Amino acid sequence: MGRNADLMAPPDRQILRGQPAPVELLPSQQEALAFLLPLSGDYPGIDSWFVSKVAPGLLTGTRTMLRAERDGRLVGLGIAKCEAGEKKICTVRVAPSHAGRGIGVRLFDGLLRWLDTDRPHLTVTEGRLPAFERIFDHYGFSVTSVRDGLYVPHVRELGYNEAADRVPWPAPQTGARTDAAGRRPGPDLTGQACGT
């Protein structure tokens, strides 16, 4: 098999090499990946992340991918993961031509239902926050961390709804409620199962 196996793949499927084994993307996954590529400026390596994490997670059931289509075209996409101790909205993108039409809210609603939580972990770059502020306010999401250079050097990434034991907290402010370790408590995400 080896290298020649790639040549034998059906023409409607693309084989990409992920870790640890080759991952075969379905046409719908190829389309989703192409739709996400404009985000690569804020999230370098989004293509390898999709191939090595998202595609295998879709097979095992630890990830979900929701699509919004209009006139047969992909105009919105949301990806979430549910793994031990973490319920996270990984990415949501709406095509600029369809922004402001409620597609993002519908994607968030679907992802929240699948995750079976109203306080999932998620991150957003500071520069993209204006596009998400109204949605985050709508759902009552809370900033729980700010990290410099998480994905891109010198770019601040805001974390939301992180469980207290997963947050690299700065020193608490005077009067802030904290736990015994000096961290502000976050939501308890343990023991919850994702929807199917």
pLDDT band at 24 (very low <50, low <70, confident <90, very high): confident
pTM of the shown model: 0.75
Q: How many domains does the chain have?
A: 1
**Within-domain flag for 174:** no
Give me the domain span that covers residue 130. 16-166
The CA–CA distances, whole Å, from 20 to 23, 52, 79, 127 equal 9, 8, 21, 34
**Within-domain flag for 178:** no
Q: What are phi and psi of 165, to 5 degrees?
A: -80, 0
**Within-domain flag for 116:** yes
**CATH number of the structural domain spanning residue 104:** 3.40.630.30
Q: Which two tokens stand for residue 11?
A: 């023409």
Average pLDDT of the residues in 117-143 = 94
* Residue 121 confidence (pLDDT): 96
**Within-domain flag for 182:** no
Lowest-pLDDT choice from 109-113, 114-118, 182-186: 182-186
**Within-domain flag for 6:** no
